[in-house]
Chain A
Amino acid sequence: MATNVRPRIRLDKKQAKKGELVEVKALVSHVMETGQRRDASGKIVPRKILNKFVCTVNGKEVFAADFEPAVSANPYIQFKFKAQESGKVVLTWFDDDGSTIVGEESIAVS
């Protein structure tokens, strides 16, 4: 189930030479509730975090991450991948509640 949350994604280049590194920066709005906080009535607020992130280029995984509650709210992720071929760069975040947040960019490789 994809949500309506729109991640913000920045690639340092839209066109790359084959073998060149492309830097990806991405920000997504999310509370990253740790599951260790109590509300005003003293009850523990249940954990709700984005626990996993995957980046694929034309369906092939180039980078992934597992997040714990110690990752800050509105998670930021920055990484690189090696440009191999033109195509779709898809970023997916997986929520504890089973939903996903998906963002997409394209890269032209010459």
Chain B
Amino acid sequence: MIAALNRRQALAIGVSAATTAILGGSVLPAAAANDYEDLIKKFTGGKVPTVGRVKIDAPEIAENGNTVPMTIMVESPMTPASYVTEVLVVADGNPRAGVATFRFTPDSGIAEANTRIRLASTQWLHVVAKTNDGAFFMAKKEVKVTIGGCGG
């Protein structure tokens, strides 16, 4: 008997498991396009961040779009004179761009944090760091969200 392709079966062949599973059974009709650029502008007050000093350690291909490990690191002496205050993480392919903001102090000792995030599809992570003297630095990294299953 031929069954219609229900959701479980769609997952069984792996198709777009991530796209629908992650941000809900049905993603809200995207009222607006992903607003990552606006979030970055708001964070920097319109300043254009310098590329560099920021490193993103995330898998090139996600194993599970529901929980993608991600580490951000920013080069900084982390002294009261010179330290990273905030780091903004946005994703340009989710229905909403916001992911997380990390806040550091000189007592952090190092500007480094790791969390696990939801990615609805293949997209870029953009990470912008703010220093105590008002400078902004950034990096971006593409994470592929795939169906997999044919390697070997």
Whether B118 is near chain A, meaning CB under 8 Å from some CB there, is: yes
CA distance A80 to B104 in the complex (A): 10
Bound form: Cα–Cα A110–B148 in Å: 50
Of the residues A72, A79, A80, contact of B117 by C-beta under 8 Å = A72
Instruction: Tell me if A11 counts as interface (CB < 8 A to partner B).
Output: no
Main secondary structure of the interface of A (DSSP, over half): strand
**A1 beta carbon closer than 8 Å to chain B:** no
Number of interface residues of A (CB under 8 A): 31
Closest residue of chain A to B104, judged by CB?
A63
Q: Which residues of B contact A21 (CB under 8 A)?
A: 109-110
Q: Which residues of B contact A77 (CB under 8 A)?
A: 113-115
A63 touches B102 (CB 8 A): yes
- Give a binary string over B90-128; 1 marks a CB under 8 Å from any A CB, 0 the rest: 010011101111111111111011111111000000000
Cβ–Cβ contact B115 & A76, under 8 A: yes
| Inter-subunit contact B114/A79 (CB<8 Å) | yes
Closest-CB distance, A26 to chain B (whole angstroms): 10
Partner among A45, A67, A78, A81 whose Cβ is within 8 Å of the Cβ of B100: A67
Complex CA–CA separation, A81 to B103 (angstroms): 12
B residues in contact with A36, CB < 8 Å: 23-24, 27-28, 95-96
A37-B24, A76-B115, A77-B115 given; A65·B103 CB < 8 A: yes
